């Protein structure tokens, strides 16, 4: 057993930490780490040199910090922000699902395989899962809901909320 320092006990199993959050305790982020994250959220293609200059550290320090943020799971990856309509996916919807109790892992695997699935969240409230999908058109969306989603045995009910317009928030406006 290893003590996480915050009175939470973590157990190492097969070289991995097992605990309340299923990982090692998070390291605190300092102001430089937060600045690096803000820069990379705005421009994931920013060079190490550019990041280092903007946060006033050496390139080696910036490189080490970014690698630590990746290793710690703070940075999960780098991606492009896509205009789905211009990419041929003119229909988007949030779909709420009620599922059989304790079937989250099974349902999640099936939802991940759906064409156009962009985001899946286990939530609390009147429904269990919130799914964001992007499809070429409403006909494809209808088929996805009626034939693919509703054929999953653990899905008890669905509700589809069409997205009329969406706006990605600038990372500087989210904290």
Q: Which residues contact 140 (CB under 8 A, 6 or more apart)?
A: 91, 116
Cα separation, 117 vs 84, whole angstroms: 12
Higher pLDDT, 24 or 85: 85
Q: What would the pLDDT profile of 89-103 be if each residue is shown by its tens digit?
A: 899 999 999 999 999
At 67 the pLDDT is: 94
Give yes or no for residue 14 having a pLDDT over 60: no
Give yes or no for residue 45 having a pLDDT over 80: yes
At 22 the pLDDT is: 57
Concatenated DSSP letters of 129-167: EEEEEEESSHHHHHHIIIIIGGGSTTEEEEEEEEES---
pTM score over 0.75: no
C-alpha neighbours within 13 Å on the C-beta side of residue 139: 0
């Amino acid at each position: 057993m290893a003590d996480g320092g915050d009175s939470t006990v973590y157990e190492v199993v097969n070289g991995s930490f097992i605990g309340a959050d299923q990982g090692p305790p998070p390291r605190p982020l300092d102001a430089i780490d937060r600045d690096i994250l803000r820069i990379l959220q705005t421009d994931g293609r920013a060079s190490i040199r550019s990041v280092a200059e903007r946060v006033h550290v050496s390139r080696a320090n910036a490189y080490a910090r970014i690698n630590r943020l990746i290793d710690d799971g703070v940075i999960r990856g780098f991606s492009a922000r896509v205009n789905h309509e211009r990419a041929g996916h003119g229909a988007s919807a949030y779909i709420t699902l009620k599922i059989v109790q304790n079937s989250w892992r099974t349902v999640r695997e099936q939802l991940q395989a759906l064409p156009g699935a962009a985001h899946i969240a286990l939530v609390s409230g009147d429904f269990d899962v919130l799914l964001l999908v992007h499809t070429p058109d409403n006909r494809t969306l209808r088929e996805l809901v009626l034939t693919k989603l509703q054929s999953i045995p653990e899905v008890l009910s669905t509700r589809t909320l069409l997205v009329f317009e969406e706006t990605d928030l600038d990372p500087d406006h989210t904290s």
